[in-house]
Structure 1
Amino acid sequence: MDIRFANVADAGALARLGTDSFVAKFGHLYRAEDLAAFLSQAHTEAIVAREIADPAYRVFLAQDKGGHLLGYCKLIMACGWPEHARGANVIELKQLYTAPAATGQGIGSALMARAGEEAAGFGADEIQLSVYSDNPGAQKFYARYGFGKVADIHFMVGEQRDEEFLFAKLLDR
């Protein structure tokens, strides 16, 4: 598996993977109009291309040796929830998605390692992320990397409000 920074030419594939992954895991939870509204605000080619081009983002992807996209991760080099920040230079892990058929192959671990490298290179002292309150698998995954719950928050999918947990990890510098 190779991990590399995304470029604008990858935006369409990343948008499709983001949509496919979100729908496969959570699509059944939402009314069609809420799901469509969310996807149009978070997982379009144009939005992903803007994120890739934005210097405040670090978007990297995992692909197999044949060049097939396996997953991706987005970091925002800014604090998403300053009211819960414990560090002075806090960043946000925005998305870590794997292709639905590729889950369990170490892709998430490889992307987490790369996220840690990026955070360290940026001089971050804390990483925050939100995780769905009814997703114990993701919570367990992040806990393996030292993340823990610091607050109850919410996340909007269209007009539906989901209860989420804010997880964070303090980093050694």
Structure 2
Amino acid sequence: MTSAPPEHDAVRIRRAGADDAAALALAGAATFLETFAGILDGPDIVAHCRNQHAVELYDGWLADPQCVAWLAETVHGAAPVGYALIAPPKLPLADLRADDLELKRIYLLSRFHGGGVGRELMRHAVEQARERGAGRLLLGVYAGNARALAFYARNGFGQVGERRFQVGANVYQDAILALELGA
């Protein structure tokens, strides 16, 4: 028997709007740090977050009609704890298709893992990709992130390629995964 999460851990998910860039950037940087502290070099994490989780980057995505984001936030206090974002793909695949979309980001603070929030963020992303007529939903993930790889496998994703991904001064191996959405 599972118990309900404490009331202060209750989370709601809503579509992100133009004024949510700072919340998305904060959640992105916080989850990246939480996930990779002790795995990646600290200066590399700082440099990566400064560049890849800059508010201006999220401003651009939120202003782009081809991109959609959902924000997970606490019910009490509306603190950002995670999000998902889909966008046109920018992955090094030889068979990239015109109807592909990329799950650019799906992040959730570990305190909220296991309660269905990640699954719900994924559901929103998959549903939106289907509504947009995508044949596949793609993503890149650090090949050493076993927890994320297991989550994606449970959600039907399979590996279709690899890429080298730079974080700060170092280069790491990523797996490129795809979920076939069908007709």
Confirm or deny a common fold (TM above 0.5).
yes
Give the match for residue 21 of structure 1.
31
Q: Distance in 2 between matches of 1:153 and 1:80?
A: 8
Residues 34-69 of structure 1: CA deviation (Å, up to 9, x unaligned)? 222211111122221221112221111123433343
Structure 2 residue matching 1:105: 3-state secondary structure: coil
Change in Cα spacing, 1:65 to 1:34, as seen in structure 2 (3 Å) is closer
Give the match for residue 36 of structure 1.
46
2:85 to 66, 70, 74: 74
List runs of 5+ in structure 1 lacking aligned partners.
none
- The letter for the 2-side match of 1:24 is E
Identity %: 31
Matched, 1:7 2:17: yes
Structure 2 residue matching 1:83: 3-state secondary structure: coil
CA RMSD in angstroms, aligned pairs only: 1.7
2:164 to 154, 163, 173: 154
Q: Distance in 2 between matches of 1:84 and 1:27?
A: 34
Change in Cα spacing, 1:79 to 1:170, as seen in structure 2 (3 Å) is farther
- The letter for the 2-side match of 1:114 is H
Q: CA deviation at 1:88?
A: 4.2
Out of 118-127 and 37-46, give the one that drifted further: 37-46
TM-score by length of 2: 0.86
Change in Cα spacing, 1:91 to 1:106, as seen in structure 2 (3 Å) is same
Matched, 1:114 2:124: yes
CA contact (8 A) 1:90 1:128 kept: yes
Change in Cα spacing, 1:48 to 1:152, as seen in structure 2 (3 Å) is same
Structure 1 residue matching 2:164: 3-state secondary structure: strand
Q: How many residues align?
A: 172
TM-score by length of 1: 0.90
- The letter for the 1-side match of 2:56 is A
2:110 to 95, 100, 107: 100
Q: CA deviation at 1:131?
A: 1.2
Q: CA deviation at 1:23?
A: 0.4
Q: Distance in 2 between matches of 1:89 and 1:135?
A: 27
CA contact (8 A) 1:127 1:169 kept: yes
- The letter for the 2-side match of 1:20 is A
Structure 1 residue matching 2:38: 3-state secondary structure: helix
